[in-house]
């Protein structure tokens, strides 16, 4: 079941993570039940889950997370009001023991951020152009996360978590910060990639 509201304020990220972890550690939560009733905040919850494999020290972590992030980003880009997951993905969520490991990794950072985030600047989150721009940036970050670029899973995964937290906490100011950090990461990756290509082409010309 989706987490209940406390008073007039919507539940925050901590309560949603607790709901994900509530149950048998060897079983997987039902994602569709959890994001039911969350509206656009459900995109944030799914981004949290999608980012999980990027923080697991396995070579294919980004290759798993990236396509999931792209799927969620595409729905934001086209303006869906609430997330949709195909059944084969919704029924194969990570087991709660994997989610617990993920929570231990992000918990110190999440505790720091929770002192700063709050619902504000909702227009950044609700405006059609703002939602589309969020989707576009996440789509590009998801593509980069899926690529086998060394030492980048934690970087791109961390940025995607900022987007997730902004959506979950309805914090438009944090979303603006996520936009800026995301753009910087995309520009830096593009510049480094261009420099690498130029270097390889230069070596090929020199030794060709």
- Structural domain includes residue 1: no
- Structural domain includes residue 35: yes
- Structural domain includes residue 8: no
- Structural domain includes residue 4: no
29-55 burial, b at 16+ Cβ within 10 Å, e below that, comes to bebbebbeebebbbbbbbbbbbbbbbb
Q: Full-prediction pTM beyond 0.85?
A: no
Looking at residue 179, its pLDDT comes to: 97
Instruction: Give residue 164's domain range.
Output: 13-207
**Could you read off the pLDDT tens digit of each residue along the chain, which spans 208 residues?**
445 443 334 556 777 777 777 777 777 776 776 666 677 788 988 888 888 778 776 666 677 888 999 999 999 999 988 888 777 666 666 777 777 777 777 777 777 777 888 899 999 999 999 999 999 999 999 999 888 887 788 899 999 999 999 998 899 999 999 999 999 999 998 887 765 456 445 545 666 5
- Structural domain includes residue 7: no
- Structural domain includes residue 53: yes
- Structural domain includes residue 18: yes
Domain count, the chain: 1
- Structural domain includes residue 75: yes
Q: What are phi and psi of 171, to 5 degrees?
A: -110, 100
């Amino acid at each position: 079941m989706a987490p209940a509201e406390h008073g007039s304020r919507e539940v925050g990220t901590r309560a949603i993570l607790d709901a994900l972890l509530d149950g048998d550690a060897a079983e997987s939560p039902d994602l569709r039940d959890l994001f039911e009733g969350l509206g656009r905040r459900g995109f944030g919850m799914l981004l949290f889950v999608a980012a999980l494999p990027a923080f697991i020290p396995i070579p294919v972590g980004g290759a798993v997370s990236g396509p999931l992030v792209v799927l969620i980003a595409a729905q934001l880009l086209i303006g869906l009001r609430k997330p949709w997951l195909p059944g084969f993905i919704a029924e194969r969520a990570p087991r709660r023991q994997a989610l617990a490991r993920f929570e231990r990794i992000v918990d110190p950072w999440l505790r720091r951020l929770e002192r700063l985030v709050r619902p504000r600047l909702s227009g950044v989150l609700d405006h059609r152009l703002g939602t589309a721009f969020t989707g576009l940036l996440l789509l590009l970050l998801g593509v980069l996360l899926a690529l086998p670029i060394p030492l980048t899973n934690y970087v791109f995964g961390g940025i995607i978590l900022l987007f997730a937290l902004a959506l979950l906490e309805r914090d438009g100011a944090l979303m603006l910060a996520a936009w800026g950090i995301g753009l910087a990461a995309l520009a830096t990756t593009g510049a480094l990639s261009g420099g690498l290509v130029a270097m390889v082409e230069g070596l090929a010309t020199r030794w060709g």
